[in-house]
Structure 1
């Protein structure tokens, strides 16, 4: 195992932060796992710790057939943002930018460089595109600490065959986000993890970390695929590890072992893959998810837990105004799994209080929450 340190741009005199990456094994295939890019989403940090312990044993036993890179603390900037005792890790305090948006657009960086390098050999094209990515990222000069964080993470991950970005939601069932082009590759991971929803989107808008890896390959295939074979160069997935308070040894052991099982199934770890569990829920389009919005302010009381499959028109939550005695019941309009809900039990007017994973796409534009 190697530990590598990646200094970030200093934001002020006397201040410097850094990333640490842990590198296990070697070989042609590469896996990249990072956690807590939203710094207040901590379940993934514990999963990375548990995963590292497993990888150390597997490496010592000679079981690793590729390189596995783990970045347990992907956002040291956000970890240092506290306001009145609360960790504020989703948005950068200086700019209010979401830490999981606005990564370098690999598509626009690669297209001017790569067309003349493409051939009728998919493997050669894979290497040509990755070389163009490396050259483009090497030429970037970050202007701020936040940009240097984004660039450091992309330089570590751009050439990975598998990219796992470990997050969580406020309160949630375990669920995934990935590119529809990748579902055949991602389904075994969903099975091993026990994902209760898998949301598919080609481009949800905003350049989040997982999509900047997969969308480039889909876009190149759409542009050049009739002339040159373009593979899926990165199986990239956002894994939402339940809710913010779901930090436990039991969950971490389960999730880390699921990742090991998946990598064994993929042949990156030597061994017999575990029996694949049944798929908990079929994939659905992210554009088919229904945001549930409170029409008024008041105390929020849920009727159903996350992970429950609902028929259209069920009572999901009540909003209670204790001054007027008014009670409004929020119902879903589509059938599907309630895969996430808000942690706060006081609703403001217009606040999104949960989401249902529906089967029919009906939304467009930006599909992610803030």
Structure 2
């Protein structure tokens, strides 16, 4: 294992933050798989999964069983990990800028387009290499000024040339679920099955906010479109399949779950050929993939005490009750009902709600939303 320390620009005098990456296998070997945990720093299940996966990788490397290159960043956001307010972790938004840590990553498709247009050929593999080289050159020319810029630059620099990127997150309270782009799904479907995903949300472009996984995989869907618009219809295979994996809920931090999930990730690494196999048989799917545009965000019509009557993972029909909101001062109860049929895959962990706020999500089959599909 090669452990590397990446110093971020100092945010204040006398303090500097470090990102640690652990590298297994041979640099440049294929496939390259990049995994990171807890970019939203209060989402901790991924850190424990990374701990158990690291042990497997170390043992495999010691016996020459790592065939590709695997990069593991077990703590992807040391900035957010240090942020607390009134004894509560605050790892989703940067205190200095109020920016979501998982937004505003660079537009790699536009960057690559400006560097490779007119220079690609009819050789698809050579084109993939040229695009990666172009991104590497752009990264080498950047000088981040702030701690947050340095974090984004470091993470993209570690992941941009990976064949597969797995970004480990979690929700408030949730079933295991996935977000990915449609063109990535054929590569990532076995991972969803190994992990036992109960909802898979697919989109072409989920937001205009620049989340980490979307900028990496989006490079390979958006760049061909830019080239075609310029009259350059050239072969460009997908160079990166990336996904955000939501490892259930914030409180689902336990050794049994982490060992189960690390075993699933290990099976997927074997499936890809990154580590020696044979890989376990791919299990049957627990759900169908549905459009992210068909995911319903349920909102509270009034304030009050939130009481869920639907369970995580429950399949709902239109009109089924999901929660009640109790006003104990009036003795009233408002029922929140499903507006779409599908899997109730995520809900908030709090039990007091203000009017207009989101309480949970249902993965439906029929798309109906447009615009920014991810929210804040």
Q: Same fold (TM over 0.5)?
A: yes
Could you tell me which of 225, 233, 249 is aligned with 1:227? 233
Counterparts of 1:277-292 in structure 2, within 5 Å, are 277-292=283-298
Could you tell me which of 35, 38, 51 is aligned with 2:37? 35
Counterparts of 1:306-325 in structure 2, within 5 Å, are 306-325=312-331
Deviations 1:281-317 (A, max 9, x none): 0101111100000000000000011111111110000
Q: How much has 1:60 moved relative to structure 2?
A: 1.2
Give me the whole-angstrom Cα distance separating, in 2, the residues matched to 1:345 and 1:28.
47
Q: How much has 1:161 moved relative to structure 2?
A: 0.5
Aligned partner of 1:102 in structure 2 is 104
Q: How much has 1:42 moved relative to structure 2?
A: 0.2
Aligned partner of 2:3 in structure 1 is 3
TM-score computed with the length of structure 1 as normaliser: 0.98
Give me the whole-angstrom Cα distance separating, in 1, the residues matched to 2:278 and 2:253.
29
Report the aligned-residue RMSD: 1.0
Aligned partner of 1:345 in structure 2 is 351
Deviations 1:202-250 (A, max 9, x none): 2112111100001111012223367211111101010000000000011
Indicate if the aligned counterparts of 2:224 and 2:233 stay in contact, CA closer than 8 A.
Answer: no
- Structure 1: 4+ residue segments shifted above 4 A: none
Indicate if the aligned counterparts of 2:113 and 2:226 stay in contact, CA closer than 8 A.
Answer: no
Task: Tell me whether 260-269 or 217-226 shows the greater mean CA deviation.
Answer: 217-226
Task: Tell me whether 21-30 or 154-163 shows the greater mean CA deviation.
Answer: 21-30
Give me the whole-angstrom Cα distance separating, in 1, the residues matched to 2:365 and 2:119.
40
Aligned partner of 2:143 in structure 1 is 141
Aligned partner of 1:184 in structure 2 is 186
Give me the whole-angstrom Cα distance separating, in 1, the residues matched to 2:263 and 2:328.
47
Give me the whole-angstrom Cα distance separating, in 1, the residues matched to 2:204 and 2:362.
19
Give me the whole-angstrom Cα distance separating, in 1, the residues matched to 2:73 and 2:185.
24
Aligned partner of 1:213 in structure 2 is 216
Aligned partner of 1:59 in structure 2 is 61
Give me the whole-angstrom Cα distance separating, in 1, the residues matched to 2:249 and 2:85.
21
Task: Tell me whether 132-141 or 223-232 shows the greater mean CA deviation.
Answer: 223-232
Deviations 1:113-166 (A, max 9, x none): 011221111100110000011111122221211011000000011000110000
Aligned partner of 1:46 in structure 2 is 48
TM-score computed with the length of structure 2 as normaliser: 0.97
Any stretches of 5+ residues in structure 1 without a counterpart? none
Aligned partner of 2:274 in structure 1 is 268
